[in-house]
Amino acid sequence: MPRLAIVGLLALQSALAQHPTFYKDVLPVLQQHCQACHRPGEPGPMPLLDYAGTKPYAQAISQAVGSRIMPPWFADPAIGHFANDRSLSPSDIQTIVDWAKAGAPAGDPKDAPKPVKWVEGWTIGKPELIFEVPTAFNVPASGVIPYQYVIVPTHFTKDTWIHLAEVRAGDRAHTHHIVVSLRDPGSTWLAGEPVGVPFTLKPHEGMSGAPGEFLAGYGPGAMPEMLAPGQAKLVKAGSDLVFQLHYTTNGQEGCDRSRVGFILSHEAPRQRVVMLAAANIRFMIPPGDPDYEVNARITLHSESSLISLLPHMHLRGKSFEFRAVFPDGHTETLLRVPHYTYSWQLSYYLAKPLRLPPGTTIECTAHFDNSADNPMNPDPSKAVRFGAQSWDEMMIGYFEVATDLKNGLRELLLPGQGNPAAHTM
């Protein structure tokens, strides 16, 4: 063979070798960063499990990762380290973009990583206990549906430590979010409301009578929380579960019966996990304001360690920041979300728990865009206050701490320093 042809052949071979292939280069990225959502029964619209299912979407995938729309992740990378950070490295993004550009070649199936063994249905594994809303809710084809509440008794005869909890919507297409809170025996929260059937709140009813502790939630992009071994949430004997269900209409009728599944602590738990919130419910965002600031803070009075953060605003939410102010006066920024969107409700799980000595204050700063330039804004001419529906606003910095088994909301917070929004989303 002439020398030139050999050189040409070698160049061609190495150019081919540089194309990423599905089995060798792309599938490992999909397994690690995409399949949690993009598999049957999960919220991603198409499964990305194999070549046949992925190839038709090569261009869409390339675009989604190139513009960092996928995977959904909003934390400023300069601040903090998070265990559930699914964001792609620049080299992963390049791999996918190059692969799509090269015509999405399959490559050699022998190069494929082992398939991930996803558990069908429940992400936490098979629950030992499942509580289902006893009556189905019929979702109409159109209109706005006020939040529905359903009280479901646990009938627990002894205090029960829940290691993992997962909330599953029966009808995902119509379910925006679900929050399952606890109502301790003897609590006056929602007193007089019926048990087992959906009801709506009277004005201010949800805010009074010491709302219960947040147990578990389901929302856009949220994955069930995987607590560390030895950590658990306490459900006291005789407690009720309170489901808060937010349905949205989409032109078709639906029917939902949602469930929560539990995996119990089998060894004696070592740490109790409690959801707290720094919330501001007294703001008023002026009409048209493009950058209105709202602050909230809450001080903790027992030793604990911070394990997760969940910023929550509605459609005018623009940015959100969490800070810890320690008793010695120094401040640490914990999470910065520079471009918040209501479309995704993500929790950020700290890679390493952060010790919060007694006297630590968690501070939150939010900015809202109530101008006409905010494409999500339902009405820039309106002054906006705190409220439950999505055209109202919220300003809540949810966070979870792991603490001594004896500590609950009462021990962690000062008397009178309520947790007014612990169950509202």
Residues that bind ligand HEC (CB under 6 A): 33-34, 36-38, 43-45, 57, 60-61, 64-65, 70-72, 86, 88, 221
Based on its alpha-carbon atoms, the radius of gyration of the chain, rounded to whole angstroms, reads 24
Q: Which is nearer to ligand HEC, 283 or 398 (CB)?
A: 398
- Cβ of residue 118: shortest distance to ligand HEC, in angstroms? 13
Residues 6+ apart with CB under 8 A from 383: 284, 285, 286, 287
Helix then strand then coil, in percent of the chain rounded to 5, is 15, 30, 50
Q: Which is nearer to ligand HEC, 33 or 323 (CB)?
A: 33
Instruction: Look up residue 235 and give its two tokens.
Output: 């459900």
Q: Which is nearer to ligand HEC, 86 or 257 (CB)?
A: 86
- Cβ of residue 214: shortest distance to ligand HEC, in angstroms? 20
- Cβ of residue 317: shortest distance to ligand HEC, in angstroms? 17
- Cβ of residue 304: shortest distance to ligand HEC, in angstroms? 28
Q: Which is nearer to ligand HEC, 72 or 290 (CB)?
A: 72
Distances (CA, A) of 329 to 50, 139, 298, 353, 414: 53, 51, 15, 20, 19
- Beta-bridged to residue 277, according to DSSP, are 398
- Cβ of residue 24: shortest distance to ligand HEC, in angstroms? 17
Instruction: Quote the CA–CA distance of 59 and 248 in Å, as a whole number.
Output: 30
If you search the block for the tokens 């087992």, which residue do you land on?
196
Q: Which is nearer to ligand HEC, 43 or 408 (CB)?
A: 43
DSSP reduced 3-state for 54 = helix
- Cβ of residue 223: shortest distance to ligand HEC, in angstroms? 7
Instruction: Quote the CA–CA distance of 349 and 344 in Å, as a whole number.
Output: 15
Q: Which is nearer to ligand HEC, 250 or 331 (CB)?
A: 250
